[in-house]
Structure formats: structure tokens, C-alpha cells
Structure 1
Amino acid sequence: MKDNYDDLFFEKGHLGLKIWQTLVAIFSWAFVIIPVIITGFSFSVTRWELNSKLNFWKYDFEFQTFKIIFELLVFFTIIGVIFTITSTIVQNNRREALSEKWPLFDSMEDLRRQERFEAYANRKFGSKKYRESISFYSLKEEDNLADDEIFNVVKGGNK
């Protein structure tokens, strides 16, 4: 069986590709980690009024902007968590209400309908193995199905 995707990174060999992709990933993460470190360090130095030559925030405006953005992120995170928990509770209640009604169909009757249709198809068009093995099948005009014939066969009316 063939998988839906191929990825040379996880196959044996391809050492050059693995080294290259790992270096690119580490380099890319540096663009996330370095600003976080600089911001955290500058925030700490400004917050506790430490003297440091590495302080990147020179004005109070930068500190206030960071606080506002941080408060907004905390607020939206809380809203997201509330939404997620509420949605989970609602979906669990829906699932439990639906599972109490399970099954909504008669599985034995469904099997009988499948058997009736299979018997009808075998009589009318040949065995299942034969039907699946041919690529072209020509019907005589009198063998065409009526509009409601399959419905009647499945319901048990026309055997």
C-alpha cells in the first residue's frame, strides 16, 4: 500500500538534505527566539530600573506599548479559552444526547435490504465477481430499470 505522501527527510540516507533542513529550521527559530529574549531582557531592565548597556528601550512609551499589547494578548487568550471550553461542553452534550438515540436505524433490516438488492443484481446482471471484472456492459432495452424499481426491490416489494 502506498502512503499519501513521500518525505525524503524521514527515509534512510539523504544526510545532506537532513543537515540542510535542520540548519534552516534552527536559523528560522532564531527569528522568533531572539526578539523574545531582547524584549524580555529590556522589559526586565526597565521594570526593575537596572542600569545596563543592553537596554533597548529608551523611552517610557515603549514600556507602555508592551504592557498594553501584553494585556490584550492575555485578554484574548482568556476569551479563547472560555470559547474553547464552552464549545467542548456544548459538543459533549450534543454527542451524549445523540448517543442515547443510537442506533437510529435497524441494522438487521439494512442487511436484509443489501441482501435483497444483491440477489436482484445477480439475477438481472450476473454475479458480483462478473460485474466487477468487466469494463463495458451493454443492456437490452427491456433490461433497463424502471424509475422506482430499485426502491421497490430494496423495500421488498419486487423480488
Structure 2
Amino acid sequence: MKDEKQRQQLYTDEYFEKGHILLKIWQTIVAIFGWLCVFIPLVITITSFWAAYNPKIPHIWSYDEGIFEIKFIAVILLFSFAMASLFAVSMTLIQNRRRDRLVEQWPTFNPINQKKRENELGKFMDERFGPKDFRENVRYYEVQPEQNLDTDQIKSIYKKSNLDDLG
């Protein structure tokens, strides 16, 4: 049972295993530092932008260019979100219409006749070019002129077997 579990496990992480205290401490410090590098600039930017409208809010910087840049980025992001949403909604509607139109249509072939066609065609190919495993495994095969197929030969095989209808 244990051997089977080891085969099923596709990856390991020493952080979650017993022991490895120094590794856990180091990776935790790096993770905390990474999150601080995300949150500190975010807090500074939000408080500085908020302080432009409410001077009671403590802030680190108050440059007009910075406030204008934040507004500009917000407009760009809002426009991008609107375009992405418009695209996603329109593609969803188009795909749903297409799926409804195709799924509700009757199949254009009869699966039972399709299997019969495959069998008839397989028999014909076996007679004309040899057994299936020979055809699939031979490296080089030269087709003789009398083995060439006529333009409508497959259609005539289907007609002979009464399999020429589409449904």
C-alpha cells in the first residue's frame, strides 16, 4: 500500500515535511518579504491618492503628476476591462447561438450506416491492397496502375450495398 502511494505522489515539498526547520524559516521570511513588497507600495499609493481629496489622511507624497498618472491608469484599466467584458460576453452569445443551432440539428449521417460503410470499404481495401495490418505496417508499397481507384468507385461500392444515403 505504501509503495502504491509513493508511485501516485507526483511531487514533494520539503516545506510541509517533518523537519527542515531552517528551510521553513527561510521560506517564510522570503514569503513575508514578498508580500510586504506588494502591500507597502499599494498602501502608499492608495493613501496618497485618497489624501488628494481628504487632507486629513496621512500620506507620503502629494505630487499632482502622480495623482494624474493614477487617474490615467485607472481610465486605461477601466477601458480595458470594458473591452474584455464586451468581447467575452459577445463571444459567449455567439458560441451559445452556434451550439444551439448545431446541437438541435439532426445528425447528417446515420451511425449504423456509417459502420456498414466502414466494413464495406474495409473489405474492398483488403481485396484491392491486401490485409489491413500489412497496409498499416509496410514501409514501401508501389500501387500498380490497375489498382488505382476510379473517381466514383467508393460511391459505387456504397450504391451496390445500398449505403449511399446520408441518413
Q: TM range, normalised to the smaller chain? A: 0.5 to 0.7
The aligned counterpart of 2:16 is none
TM-score scaled by length of structure 1: 0.63
Task: Map 1:70-85; keep pairs closer than 5 Å.
Answer: 70-85=74-89
1:101 Cα shift?
Answer: 0.3
Of 141, 145, 156 in structure 1, the residue corresponding to residue 159 of structure 2 is: 156
Q: Are residues 1:55 and 2:67 paired?
A: no
Query: Is 1:95 aligned with 2:99?
Result: yes
**Structure 1 residues 29 and 139, CA gap change in structure 2 (3 angstroms):** farther
Gaps of 5+ in 1: 1-9, 14-18
Instruction: Using the TM superposition, give the Cα deviation of residue 12 of structure 1 relative to its aligned residue in structure 2, in angstroms.
Output: 5.9
| Aligned residue in 2 for 1:7 | none
**TM-score using structure 2 length:** 0.61
Overall identity of the aligned pairs, in %: 28
The answer for the alignment partner of 2:49 in structure 1 is: 43
| Counterparts of 1:46 and 1:35, CA distance in 2 | 17
Question: Would you say the 8 A contact 2:47–2:57 is kept in 1?
Answer: no
Q: Once the 2 structures are TM-superposed, how far is the Cα of residue 109 of structure 1 from its aligned partner?
A: 2.2
Give the aligned residue type for 2:64. D
The 5 Å alignment of 1:73-152 reads 73-152=77-156
Amino acid in the other structure paired with 1:55: I
Query: Following TM superposition, where does structure 1 have runs of at least 4 consecutive aligned residues deviating by more than 4 angstroms?
Result: 10-13, 26-35
The CA deviation at 1:116 is 1.3
Task: Give the superposition deviation at 1:80.
Answer: 2.6
Residues 86 and 145 of structure 1: CA distance in aligned 2, closer, same or farther (over 3 Å): closer
CA gap of 1:51–1:114, structure 2 versus 1, over 3 A, is closer
Offset of residue 121 of structure 1 = 0.6
CA 1:127–1:72: 2 relative to 1, 3 Å = same
**Number of residue-to-residue matches in the alignment:** 140
Give the Cα separation in 1 of the matches to 2:12 and 2:57.
53
Instruction: Check 1:143–1:77 CA distance in 2 against 1; reply closer, same or farther (3 A cut).
Output: closer
Aligned 1:7-18 pairs, distance under 5 A: none
- C-alpha displacement at 1:120, in angstroms? 0.1
| Alpha-carbon distance in structure 2 between the residues aligned to 1:65 and 1:119 | 74
Aligned residues: CA RMSD? 3.6
Following superposition, the deviation at residue 133 of structure 1 comes to: 2.7
Q: Give the deviation of 1:34 after TM superposition.
A: 5.9
